[in-house]
Every structure is written in structure tokens, then in C-alpha cells.
A and B are shown apart, each in its own frame.
Chain A
Amino acid sequence: MTPSNGLHVETVRVLLRVVIFLSIAGAAISLRLFSVIRFESIIHEFDPWFNYRATKYLVLHSFYEFLNWFDERTWYPLGRVTGGTLYPGLMVTSGAIWHVMREWLRLPVDIRNICVLLAPAFSGVTAVFTYLLTKEMKDGSAGLLAALFMGIAPGYISRSVAGSYDNEAIAITLLMATFYLWIKAMKVGSIFYGALTALSYFYMVSAWGGYVFITNLIPLHVFVLLLMGRYSPRLYTAYTTWYALGTLASMQIPFVGFLPIRSNDHMAGLGVFGLIQLVALGAYVRSNVPSAQFKSFFAVSIVLVVSLGVLGLFALTAAGWIAPWTGRFYSLWDTNYAKIHIPIIASVSEHQPTPWPAIFFDTNMLAWLFPVGLYYCFQELRDEHLFIIIYGLFSAYFAGVMVRLILTLTPVMCVAGAIALSKLFDAYMDITDLFKSSGSAQASSAADSSSETEKKSSKRSSSKKGFPLFQLLTKAIVLSSFVYYLAYFVMHCTWVTSNAYSSPSVVLPSRNPDGSPAIIDDYREAYYWLRMNTPEDAKVMAWWDYGYQIGGMADRTTLVDNNTWNNTHIATVGKAMASSEEVSYEILKQHDVDYVLVIFGGILGYSGDDINKFLWMVRIAEGIWPNEVRERDFFTDKGEYKVDSEATEAMRNSLMYKMSYYRFTDMHNGREAVDRVRSQVIPSDRKITLDTVEEAYTTQNWIVRIYKVKDLDNLGRDLQSAGKSERQESAAALGKRTRNAKKPDLDLRV
């Protein structure tokens, strides 16, 4: 680092870094734009539609109106206190960007485009924080590698492509920021960094429910440090500052409220906060009291504290002061818990355990670099390495339990992988020592902290003089293989992103018979029909998966949506779908339902349809009404799930089955028709009749079918008998005369 004539080496280095950063950000952002280029600037999937709708509400109203928003268009008729039950961070962020663009920069940008492009933009910032975090672990070059990995790892891209306007889009950025600031605060022991950590933590709390991960990870880190006897005033300052400020700040989010002091999920932070006070006291006492007395003091206080703590926890939980653990929490430990107790959690595909291929698919070579990085962390084992180890172990476990938690595993994989790879590069790229004399080689490698390299190089340089061909060759082979791996990694990430994670799932890609690309746009067709053809206050019943989309695209009132806060209400909808017409009609009328929407993939072979989700509806309904809806009734005697001629009576009579297959055989001119999802033949002889609802709209590929709920019969008959008499009438018109001089079978008139 000696100053040269024109340029400082340091300046070049900074310049290079900036260029590298810019290109990483460019790669990260452009990789996420596949979806916009392939399709259009559209909000993806399900949850983002709600976030988009909430953001629109925020920019059209004031912040306080948003905070106090009572949403009367969802969860009819319960309504949802939306302002108090969402994490506002995402909406406020894009709302702020929108205001800045419009009012300061005078750019009349559409809020939709901000929402679509927010996640890619933030992925660039994530790369920066990953760099900073990794730099704290090792050095700048490892940081740059980690930033690159973070920019293109599919595990993170899956939640941050353009259009995937979800909480995770900014939450991962904030996760890395909080971790970086925490490491910094812990290392420096400054109140300033502690407060910054708390601030970043507050932003995180406002953005994503996954903040609980931080709430537990930092105390765990501190706890392990305390157990290892690494207590220091710096740790005390950092932790207490973060905990006190962060907890108070997090309680300002209405949805979080008093959870940090009442929920079991948050108790670790409080416990460690108490513990560190005791440890600080102990450290103080130890410095003032002879060691023999300190030992007895220590023993007594340990027993006292532990027993009091455990007793207190039990007592508070029993008295209901501390909320019991939530279901999602249990399912983290016992993967079967949800399946048995909470079907609604298990019904979400992203809550399923992760298969091995998924991890490789999402992280590629990081999957095997990750343990190596952890190993290196163990070798050095400074306080901050301990953090990476704990973070790595826990997130690896959680990612194994739930598919969606690969998202939290990916950053630590990037960091650990980058540490491992940069260690390797440090050792193999450094060829200067090969050409120096043994003495100077030793001197230069003494600067390197790795003792292994040192030994090797010294050995090598002492044994051989002259041109070190073999050494160079081995280095070249190792390096080139890793360059290959890296190149392959980039290819893999690009391929995965373009093929797996760039579909908006609102619009489905397909191919025409001649091979040209086509788009199946049934969802938007149906939602647009609802928007244009139904009264503005019409209530639409559909399975909860489609609630957010109906609210966002069709702008109609829904009964249930993806914010599954009321299991009973969802079970009611499940019951209406799984019951016979007369039972469901009562439910429909009680809830003022005007339209029922079902997804049917039998024509196209679209497997994500409602008949495939039907068992979950049955299970969830059975959880509330075990006597009225039974899962067993929907399986044949052989235990098969059938929709063809062997379908059970409960199946054939259920509203869902009828609405899905209504007039299905007519499509094939009244002949038997094959359901292409389940590869079963729908018999044509059993005609499906609907008395309580009538078909209102079916989209081009039959994916969405909308039914209108009929009014009460004007003559006071129930709709089944009215329908039956009408059908008899038309049968009679065909020539079958029925005479009814028979005395009717009536109850006594009272």
C-alpha cells in the first residue's frame, strides 16, 4: 500500500469495488426482470395482491386512515381490522417512494410499477448489506463474493422477482441490515450501533412476521457467548441497548402490540435480558469479592434464578398472561403437528417439509460450500463467527421443516459459502510466494492469518527451487475447477430464475399446437367479468386461496382470503363447498353470498384446481363440524379419491363437485368426458343438476367457473323441490304424463 505516482492503490481498490457493486446490483436486478419481459408489469400470485391493494389504499388515503383501516370488503360479514393486522413496512416503503417520486422528483409514476419493481431494487441493497456482514466475518473479498451470491441465489430470487410484491421482498434486506448492525454493535460495544440495530430491527418488525427469527437469534447468540464465558461490557451495552429500544419500538406496530412481553415466542429475548443483568452483577461482585465466597454466591444465585424463572414461566403461562405458542411455531418442531392439529397450516404447500432436491435447486453449489464455511468459522471462532454458526444451524434446521424458510437459510449460505470460497482463493490464487526465496515467502505469508497455507508454502519453497511447474499446475487445476463451478452456478441461477420463479401464476404460460408460446389468461378474464358485470357490493364466495386476487382484481367483497385469521369462517366456506345443496344454500344465504367461484382444471389439465384442494376444505370443515362433514365419506371403500363413476355419494352431492363438473359432459356432446387432471372418466349418464345456483360465467378454458346464487323461491318452496318439479314438467312435456290424483303425504298443519 505504498503511495505510487498517480493513483493510490486504495483508490483503485475503491473504484473497483464500486464497479463490482454496480455490476452485482445490475445482475441482481436484471435477473429479476424475466417476469416483466416475458409477461408484463403485473403483480404475482396471491399475497402480493393484498399488499398491492393495501398500498393503493395507503396512497389514496392518509397514513392514519391506513392505520385505522377497517376493511369491509373482506371476511364478510366479520370484516377485518386491516390496519391493525398487517405489517405496514412494505406499503409504507413503496408509499414513501411514490410520494418522493411524485412530489420531489416530479415523476408521475404509477404505484403499480413501484410495487412491481420494489423487490428487485431492494435485492441490490441486500447485496450491499451481505457484503458488509461478510466483511465483518472475514474480509472485503469474501464480502464481494457473498454479495454476488446473494444477488443471484435462487433461494432469495424466488421471493423477490419483479411483481413478487411480498413482505419478504424487503424483509431479507432488513434481516441482513439488522444482523450486520448487530455484529458491528457487538464488536464495537457502542450504544450508537446498538440503537441503529434497534432501528433496523423496528423496520424489520414493521415489515415481516419473520422478525421473530431475529428476536430469538440475537438472544441465542448472546446466551451462547455467556455460556462460553465471553461476557464483556461491550456485549452488555450492545444487547441491552438493542433489546430495550428494539422491544419498545416493535410494540409500536399495532399488529405486534404487547406480544413482545406476552408471547412465548418472544420470551428468549426477555430471559437473556434478565440473564445478562445477573451476569453483569456477577462480574461486578467477582471483581470485589474473594473467589471462595464468590463460588458459593454463584451456586446459590444460579439455583435461585433457574427455579424462579421456570416457575414464573409456568405460572404466567397457566394464568394466561403469556400467550401459548402458536401453531406455526409447533409445526417448526414437529413436522406432523400441523397435519394432525391444524389442517389450515398444513394445507399451504409452502409449509411442507423441504425435499433435498429443493435445497440444491435453490442454492446449487452453496449447499456444499456452506458446511465448509461453517468449518472455517469454527476454526476462528471469534464472537461474530459464533453468530454465523448459530444462524446457519438454526436456519438449516428450519429450512428442512418448511419449504418457505429456505429463504432465511439462503443469506447465511451465501455468507458461509463466500467465506469458504474466499479462503480457498486466498490460498490458491496467491502465487507470489512461489517465486520468492523461502525467507521472504515466510515473511510475506506471516501476514496471512491462516497457518496452514503458511506451512505448506514454506515447505514447498524450501524443497524446490527453480520454476514451480507442479505447484502452479495444481493451483491452476483447483482454481479452474472452481471457476467452472462459479460459471455453472451463474448458469444455474439464470436457468432456475427464468424457468421456475418468473411466472406470475395469475397468467399461465402455455404453447399452441404449433409450438408458438401462448398465454392462458382465464383468471383475469373471470375477475374482469366479475368487476364489470356484478353489482359493486356483490359478495363472492371462493376458497381462501383466491380471496386476495378477487379483492385486488375484481374488487368484490369476499368471505375468506389468504389472511387466514379466522379458521371457523374458512371452515364455514369449506362446509358450504363440501355439503349437499340444501345445506350449503342455507350457509350461502346466511352470508349474503351472491356469487360462487370455483377453479376447475379438468379441461386443460391444470392441476392446482379446487377439486385437488377439496380434501383440505373437507378436513378444515371436519375440524369444526366433525358430525356433518367427514373426510371418510369422500373416499371410496378402497380408500381412493375418485371423481368418476365410483365417486362416493357425498362426493357427487357436494356443491364443489357439482359446480366443477356441471355441463362437463355437454362439452363432449353428452358423451363420457375425461378429466385431464385426475385422468378419470366422468360418466355422462348421471346428469348433474344445480337447483340453488345457476351458471353465470365460465372462462375460455373452463379454469374459472362463476355461479350465481338463486333467490329464495317466490312460492316459498325449497329450491330443490322447485327444480325437481320443473324438471318433471319438462319430462312431461316430452310425453311422459304423470297423474297426481294421489293424496299428498303432508305433515299436520298447525
Chain B
Amino acid sequence: MLFTSIAKLVALLGLAAYSAAVTDPGPRKTSVLVVFDPELISTPQDLVSKFSLDQERYELGFLEYSNNQILLVHNEKPVFDHVVYMPSVKKSPAAKSVTEKQKLLEYLNAGGNILAVGSVENSVPESVVKFLNEVGIYPAPKGHSLRSFFDKEISLSEENLASSKIVSQLAVPLYEGSAALISNSELLFPIVKAARLSFSANSQIDALTGDKTWTNGEQGFLAVGFQALNNARAAWVGSLDLVSQELVEWVFQEKKVLKLQFTEHYKRDEPEVNDRTLYRIKDEVAYSVGVSELKNDAWVPYTPASEDDVLQLSFKMLDPYHRLNLTLVGAKASSENGPVDTSVFAVNFTIPDHHGMFTFELDYMREGLSYLSDKKIVAVRHLANDEYERSWDITNSWVYITSAAVVVVAWLLFVANFLFLGEGSVKRVQKEKKEEKKE
């Protein structure tokens, strides 16, 4: 009970201090809940410097695993922006409301970010591990550590970075921590991988067999990031040593965050009609998107880091008929009189000669970056009855037009001839008949 009230008090005090101190409405402070086990961490305030959690920027709350009184999600909105899970001695601690798998899923689906920190002796509670399993991260069980027969002491350097998109530098002289297996989910971003000759196994066991090791070589991962489809982020690290400022910023959505400001498409000869729902086959179309990136709490124009990160547009109906790279054409302000904060990417193309319901699809999923996706469905109609070329504009048809005209003229001539001229002309016959009668 005591711990509960302390935790609440801390949170409340933090809030009060914040509202009292800050009068200038700067960037909103984000709230962080750190769940810890007091048996392992006696002074949780130490974590603040370790995580470089600046009190100026974050509203901090500390919660012990024995406290079951805090809700993660209220009214389908996350109560805290971020939650950090520290290792726990107990496998299933009392704080069910913040550790149950279902609660964590709910929290992530509501948009909250999660950082789980593992260690050799004590891992995060079992239900949090179950949540990680759903995501596709399978941390080694309690007691398994990363070991190697070749190096007594495992050190990590930049060679161990699986990718430098999220974390760019790494220097851990002595790694003592856990490793995890991960699934092939495309939403997982491996950050740090184990060395080729390492493995993870229970440190008590010396006689190793294949089924007693958890990870082998580079299939073991020491830090893994995850970004759900709603752009909520999560990460698991095998040891507190791997928690770096870069990683925390990524998990807490402070960097590599993109925002789709607008998408628009229009006919090139009628740029004033935006986002029309009906096009015609072979129309010339322009498509553009505006993307901003969050840097130092401000939206700035986004520039793709490399060729691979270029944005693409699919113009598809069941299958893509076009898949085009968008080119950066400049920057502009997303709102009137606002700062220039948006990069504009655009492409021009011709609608294929095929009618149907087409989708302008922007699907931008790059490692570490927020996902951008946008679908706009338009109808592409066929040519109307008066939109075809006129017959006389087609040179091939001249033959037929001429022959039709000749037939008409010839028929008229024939009729004239039959009626008025020639041998069997009607007039003459009639005259002859009359004459015969007279006779």
C-alpha cells in the first residue's frame, strides 16, 4: 500500500511541479511510466540519467511491480505516452493491470510506446514476454546469457549493429545480458545482433546440446525495435547497457517520425479541380504528397536519406498498372502563413488505356521510419460517344468515305439517266405508249 501511494504521489507531484513551473506553452511534455522492481532497483531516480530522461521534457512516473492500481488505457486512449518495463524478480507480479498481455496489446493498439529491458538473471514479467512473443520477439528464458567459447568477455561494437537506421553507434565493452530469437515479421527491426560465434544458454550448464541453447550466432538479437501498423513503437533490449539516447528517442517517437500532410491528384490540364473522383482513360495526371519529419520537436521538410528511401506511388486496379518513384520538387508550408515544414514529392503520368476503379496508393514502409499510407480510389471511365476521333480525321477511312460518296453519286446519275436520257427512259416509253394509244 505504501509503495502505491508513493508512486501516485510521485506522479502527482511531477504533474503539479510541471504545471506550476511552466507557464510558457512550449512543446507538450510527454509522460513516461517506469515499472520497476524495488528489489533490483532501489533508487529508480538513477534511471533518469541512464535513460537521459530530461525532467524538463518528460513527466515521469514510477511504479512498482507490486502496485495494481494504475490503468494503461482509459477511454481507448493511452494514459501514459510511453511505458518502460524493467526486469522483475517475480515471474508474475501483482501489477496485473500494467503487465497483462491483453492490456499491453490494448495499450499498443491505442498508440502507446513500450520499451522492455531484459537481463540475464531477471527478465521482464512473463506476461510482458508473452506480449513480446505476439510481436515476434522471443527473449531467452531466465538464466540464459549470451556466451561465447572464443571470447571470455563479449564486447559489442558497431559491427554488431544489424542496421544503423535506428541506432547509429554502439560501444559496449562488456556485454552481460540476454538474447532473443525473432520471427520474420516485417514490422520488426533488428537493431543489435549477436556475434557469429556466440550463443545463448543457461550459464549454469556447461555440457551444451542443440536444444539447450536458445540462440545461435547471428540469429540471436540483443536489441530489437518494432513498429505496429498504427505507428506505435516498441523495443526490447537484452541489457540495460544497450539503452542509449538514440534508442529511447526512437521508441518515444521523437525522431524518425513522419507525417503525411496532404496527398492530391488532378488532371494536368485542369489543375484547379483537385481530388476529382472521375478520370478518363489516357488522361494526364499529376499526383503529389507532402511529408514532414519531426526533428527537435518541430516539423521540418522530410528528405529521404538514400535512393532506397524514395517514396513510390502505385496506380493500381488489382495489380499495379504504374509504380512510380516520386521526386522531391520543393518545400512548402502546410498551413497558410505557417513555417515551411513540408517536402512536396510529385510525379506526372498518363492513366493507362483501361477503365475501372483505380487506387492511388502510397505505401511507404521503411525501416525505422513511421509508416505512411494513403489510398484514394477514383473511377477511370471509357471514352464517351463524342470523344472518339471523327471519321474524316482518320486517313484510312477516306477510302470508304469516297466509295460511299461515289455510290450515292452513281446512283443519282443512274436514276437521272433512267428517267430522262438513254434508250429505255421512262419519258420516251410513256410517250411511245401514248403515241401507240393515239394510233
Contact = CB atoms under 8 A, between A and B. Distances in A.
Given A64-B385, A79-B357, A749-B190, A70 B379 contact: yes
A744 B381 CA distance: 52
A13 interface: no
A81 B382 contact: yes
B233 to A, nearest CB: 12
B169 to A, nearest CB: 23
A68 B385 contact: yes
Interface residues of B, number: 44
Contact of B184 (A64, A84, A712, A747): A747
A717 B356 contact: no
A76 B355 contact: no
Interface string B199-239: 00000000000010010000101000000111010000000
A217 to B, nearest CB: 31
B363 interface: no
Nearest to B162: A749
Contacts of A741: 141
A748 to B, nearest CB: 6
Interface in B367-381: 377, 379-381
Categorize the interface residue count of chain A: 20 to 34
Given A715-B108, A746-B181, A84 B382 contact: yes
B356 A78 contact: yes
B136 interface: yes
Most buried by A among B190, B229, B358: B229
Interface in B121-166: 130, 133-136, 138, 141
Contacts of A750: 184
B289 to A, nearest CB: 21
A254 B355 CA distance: 17
B134 A749 contact: no
Contacts of B232: 714
A715 B181 contact: no
Interface in B309-325: 317-318
Given A68-B384, A68-B385, A716 B228 contact: yes
B385 A715 contact: no
Contacts of A464: none
Nearest to A747: B184
A76 B181 contact: no
B357 A77 contact: yes
Contacts of A722: 134
Interface string A700-719: 00000000000011111100
A113 interface: no
B417 to A, nearest CB: 19
B182 interface: yes
Contact of A67 (B318, B355, B385): B385
A128 B194 CA distance: 93
A192 B184 CA distance: 79
A68 B211 CA distance: 69
B76 interface: no
A503 B102 CA distance: 52
B181 A744 contact: yes
B101 interface: yes
Contacts of B377: 77, 537, 592
A715 B228 contact: yes
Nearest to B316: A77
Contact of A716 (B138, B185, B219, B278): B185
Given A70-B382, A81-B355, A715 B105 contact: yes
Nearest to A590: B318
A72 interface: yes
A342 to B, nearest CB: 24
B146 to A, nearest CB: 16
B186 A716 contact: yes
Contacts of B130: 740
Contacts of A743: 138, 181, 211, 214
Interface in B75-130: 101-102, 105, 108-109, 130
Contact of B317 (A64, A77, A746, A747): A77
A725 interface: yes
Contacts of B221: 749
A76 B379 CA distance: 10
Q: Kindly list the 7 A-B residue pairs having the minimum CB-CB distance in the complex, ordered from nearest.
A: A70-B381, A72-B379, A77-B357, A68-B384, A716-B187, A79-B356, A714-B228
Given A64-B384, A729-B102, 12 more contacts: A70-B355, A72-B278, A76-B357, A77-B359, A78-B356, A79-B357, A79-B380, A715-B136, A743-B214, A744-B183, A747-B183, A750-B184
17 contacts: A64-B384, A64-B386, A68-B381, A70-B278, A70-B382, A72-B379, A77-B359, A78-B356, A78-B357, A590-B318, A712-B229, A714-B232, A715-B135, A715-B185, A717-B134, A743-B181, A747-B184
